[in-house]
Structure 1
Amino acid sequence: MSPVTTALGAGMRFYLTTHKRHWVKLTRLPLFLKAEHFAAARTLPSAQGPYAVDSGGFTELQRHGTWTRTPRQYVQDLRRIWECVGPYDWAAPQDWMCEDLIIHGGQAGPLTFQGTGLSVREHQHRTVNNFLELRSMAPELRIIPVLQGRSVEDYEYCRDLYEQAGVRLATESTVGLGSVCRLQSTREGTAIVTAMSAHGLRLHGFGFKTLGLAKVGHLLASADSAAWSYHARRRPPLPGHTHKNCANCIDYALSWRTRVLAGIPRTGAPA
């Protein structure tokens, strides 16, 4: 068994996150794209390989403090993407992240967060209710449930909300693990992933980076990352490339993905 397979688990799928929708016709490697990057286009490319669809919830809540697109509008977007681009692996719901900045608002670098002013529990209930509404409207669209919270106890509470609503998470093909992006390489993040994995869930880790994958990648069914672009902005372009940097370059993204997977150790180190 290869080091990558051992570290990430058999069949683990690692998606490259990009805002370049035309990449779906350029590679057969897994891609992760926001629904809005397809929705605004007049014509859509056909996908050559697997891809998944992000609802763009972090940006929605960061900018507006609420969702500006209704579930019905989102379903219309997802149906168009499915029909024009091709069947996707899954699509995220219009979930509600639970990071402090999303809830309370504030400034993080150049980003201003409006803040929802709601509690973690309210975010969790809204996340579950949105999933139930979306799946009721469009059961054929492979919309996945997402767990939200800030602590192990929070994620257990959210899991119970799904179970009480009749959603058996252990039978779902994918269960998203939200709000762990900034915790993924910490002891708390490791505890959250470990606890949810212990329930037999096929977890997707949103926004995972190298350190997070090294610690808990073997517990995930899939993960996505846009870290390649951040990495490329701080380095010279690839030889022969004439742009200022490779922050929007598929060649760099694919090369970065190969390096990351090859460099992950055989087992995730304990927190």
Structure 2
Amino acid sequence: MPGLRSVTATRYVTPLREGGSLPGLMEADDLGTYVVKFTGAGQGRKALIAEIIGTSLARALGLPVADLVTVDVDPALAANEPDEEVQDLLRASPGRNLGVDYLPGALDLDPSAFALGTEFAGRVLWFDALIGNVDRSWRNPNMLFWHGAPYLIDHGASLTFHHSWSGFDPARVAARPYDAREHALLAAAPDLDAADHDLAPRVTGPVLDAVLGDVPDEWLIDEPGFADPAALRAAYRDAILRRLWSRTAWLPPLRATVDDARGSAT
């Protein structure tokens, strides 16, 4: 599996305190700058796994996302940081972490201030429902506006079932309704039918294999109930495909939510 491109962190620039996991802006040996999310943060490697799967799948579906890399962090970088919280985080995150390409000058995207279109809104809503993304509300849209286009960010709160594989019920998770009542793009009259027609055929086993190949093996080891990373990748693959095949269960209530929002706006 090819995996993500790897870089080595050379300098910690500044913490980004908007999120709860304290990502940091770091420079790397490829002269790039990345928003780095750390394995030693509160949600640990599960959030990074969800970030990779969500972002890589979004890219495969033609949705706009920033590039990802893995970032090798030397805990010795902590010695130069005055902030004890940052020191602790760097020391707790040796080795590979996740970097998101920094988009300089990007603005937080307020959906009420930009005309995003029903097609785009439908594709994003459909995608969020597929992966169970609970973190794209009107309070925190997790979208940026950069070079005249929207970008989707922060998918670490997706695939929440993987926080408890021991209690994982494939059929229940596959059919679970997606609560879109506070989704950031609900007011944009999302065209779910067009999104389903276009995106569903693109979510295939080979596509998911490529997506899951971006997740480093070391983030998939020692998961109770799974013999090795290959077995865990197969479980993710199966869960997402089951979710796709169960659209007859979760798309109708999602359409009803969109229709209710459209009715309230008229």
Q: How high is the TM-score relative to the length of structure 1? A: 0.28
User: Where is the strand percentage greater, Structure 1 or Structure 2?
Assistant: 2
